Amino acid sequence: MSFHLVVGNGPAGAATAEHLAAAGHRVRVVSRSDQPPRPGIEHVRLDATETAALTAVAAGASAVINCASPPYHRWPQEWPVLASSVLAAAEASGAVLVILGNLYGYGPVDGAFTEDLPLAADGPKGRTRAAVWSQAWEAHQRGRVRMTEARSSDFFGPGVTDGGHLAGRVMPQLFQGKTIRGMGDPDAAHSWTYLPDVARTLARLAQEEQAWGRPWHVPTAPALSARAMIGKLAAQAGVAVPPLRPVPAAVLRVGSVTSPLLRELREVRYQFDRPFVVDSSAYSARFGEGPTPLDDQIQTTAAWWRQRVGLPTAG
């Protein structure tokens, strides 16, 4: 087995590190904060924008997997520095660079997202994500590094506590029976990517030479609306389906005056006002792996949240 460096210890980084360690790989995780010990995982407290230090801890790695992300409202300012540092560390170590990406770079599209679409976003966050991909891909084309990117839709699942879609804002309210306020049209089709599938895909891409030099969409179940997903989660959790209401556009406008997060969400309203559907068939066709069955996703996520909020397992 080989040595993998995971940059970032958020939900995706933590899940990826645990997946790799369970497979017998030597795993080192870099993040800015101290972390409790985990079996088979070494943690290094380090700012990943410090290129020399990151390069030192990446020495000997077969893969550098970048799951780090700056604060949402600071992407244009901080992503270029972070991405350049991780790219330099991968290049110096000779490791494969695997980037956890998303769908922002495409911008609004008609129909499903596929990997052959141009990165045509015109908002600052979308352009920033497109630039991160382009920088690494150009280095790959010049033979400086081997790289690939796993692009995910909004992810959910055990360990995902931040964000409002199916995580930190929604799940506690679901168990409390409170009205859930969401972005956009709650009945628009939307793709939700299961966090364990993100981790599995990142680990697989690091090993597969045929994957390098192009992006891949993480295997994702068929799109369902926010209303349908919340209904499934409530049924599995054994609680009543709470009322679901969209946040009025006027409230978002007023709130964005004082909230940097709400201000940034204006750029991506299209992701919730209309169908937002990812096509991950290319990955499944090439590697023979689809998403975790949706019923299993729902069951595991609901059980994890019941434990987190202090309720006994349903059933």
Asked if the structure places residue 48 within a domain, the reply is: yes
Residues 151 and 300 in one domain: no
What confidence score (pLDDT) does residue 281 get?
98
Q: Name the pTM for this structure.
A: 0.94
pLDDT digits 0-9 by tens, 115-164: 999 999 999 999 999 999 999 999 999 999 999 999 999 999 999 987 65
What confidence score (pLDDT) does residue 262 get?
64
Residues 90 and 202 in one domain: yes
The C-alpha atoms of residue 47 and residue 7 are separated, in whole angstroms, by: 10
Per the structure, the complete domain to which residue 74 belongs is given by 3-155+193-217
Residues 100 and 43 in one domain: yes
What confidence score (pLDDT) does residue 269 get?
83
What confidence score (pLDDT) does residue 252 get?
63
What confidence score (pLDDT) does residue 102 get?
97
Q: What is the CATH number of the domain that holds 253?
A: 3.90.25
Residues with pLDDT less than 50, the chain: none
